Structure 1
Amino acid sequence: METDATYRGTVYPWQCDHVGHMNIMWYVGKFDEANWNMFARLGLTPSYLRETGRGMAGVQQNISYKRELFAGDIVEVKSRLLEIRDKSIRFLHEMRNAETGEISATCEITAVHLDRQAHKSMPFAPEIRNTALKHLSPNEAVPA
């Protein structure tokens, strides 16, 4: 995917727990914001989702915590599309301390494209799938 970040922000003191580092609930929140920026790059924009009655739902999320983040740290998330299937995508976020470049956490997510009215998964529109294929990380296989 692009080298541009899908999320940029900072760690605020109120996001830190009693140990002094950013609490895990805020990692999830920052990864969630990165999700929506990544989806928009694929054409899954807020207007597309509203106008078509479609949505995205996370069905699996695995987070690995590597290094602590503290109040005042600048955070950057970059995202890679790992897999596109008929109705789902799998992607990876890397959260870094923007000052040091160290990876703070990674998050791999599987999300499903759905019809919000029927509450069922549905295939991606061809234009979304074609755009996603262009963003697929090198060396990642496209399932048959």
Structure 2
Amino acid sequence: MDPRISRVTLRVRGYHLDGYGHVNNARYLEFLEEGRWAYFDERPGLAAFLARGDRAFVAVNLNIDYRRAAVAGDDLEVLTRLSEIGSRRACIHQEVRRVCDTKLVARADITFVLLDVAAERAVAIDGEIREIMARLVLP
């Protein structure tokens, strides 16, 4: 697998389900977030930059496309990659696939900005962080 892609596996539990026995749509937000945390944890350059505490990545838009149901006992794989960098925003693309057959369960595109924590406003993605991120983009 391409090293620019992060992979997290999780098992669907009973508490993830809705009244129909399928994973509740809101739970996918948690699955996707777990994938994004792992993505940043696995990239020391990004983690070190963010650990300074003066900048943070903040999600500003999330689009999820649900493709098929997942049920209790399914093992799911969350694949995460940085798909685009703009001057003031970037996008992460994620896919949730069933491990047993690799079928797509859901896909999502998350747009985020780089936040100046003290000023509480988005700032340009430039300099060191842009260089780090540019090496990670996989369109």
Shorter-chain TM-score bucket reads 0.7 to 0.9
Any conservation in 2 of the 1:42–1:131 contact (CA below 8 Å)? no
Matching residue's letter, 1:60: N
Any conservation in 1 of the 2:5–2:79 contact (CA below 8 Å)? yes
TM-score by length of 2: 0.87
Which residue in 1 is equivalent to 2:19? 18
Unpaired stretches in structure 1, ≥5 consecutive residues: none
Which residue in 2 is equivalent to 1:67? 68
What is the 5 A alignment of 1:97-136? 97-124=98-125, 126-136=127-137
Any conservation in 1 of the 2:4–2:137 contact (CA below 8 Å)? no
Which residue in 1 is equivalent to 2:91? 90
Q: Does 1:54 align with 2:48?
A: no
1:21 and 1:9, CA in 2 relative to 1: closer, same or farther beyond 3 A?
Answer: same
Tell me the distance in 2 between the aligned counterparts of 1:32 and 1:130: 24
Which range moved further: 117-126 or 25-34? 117-126
1:125 Cα deviation from its structure 2 partner:
5.1
Any conservation in 2 of the 1:11–1:74 contact (CA below 8 Å)? yes
* Structure 1: 4+ residue segments shifted above 6 A: none
TM-score by length of 1: 0.84
Unpaired stretches in structure 2, ≥5 consecutive residues: none
Matching residue's letter, 1:44: L
Q: Does 1:43 align with 2:38?
A: no
Which range moved further: 55-64 or 3-12? 3-12
1:80 Cα deviation from its structure 2 partner:
2.5
1:42 and 1:123, CA in 2 relative to 1: closer, same or farther beyond 3 A?
Answer: farther
Give secondary structure in 2 for the equivalent of 1:37. Answer: helix
Q: What value does the CA root-mean-square deviation take over the aligned residues?
A: 2.0
Tell me the distance in 2 between the aligned counterparts of 1:105 and 1:24: 10
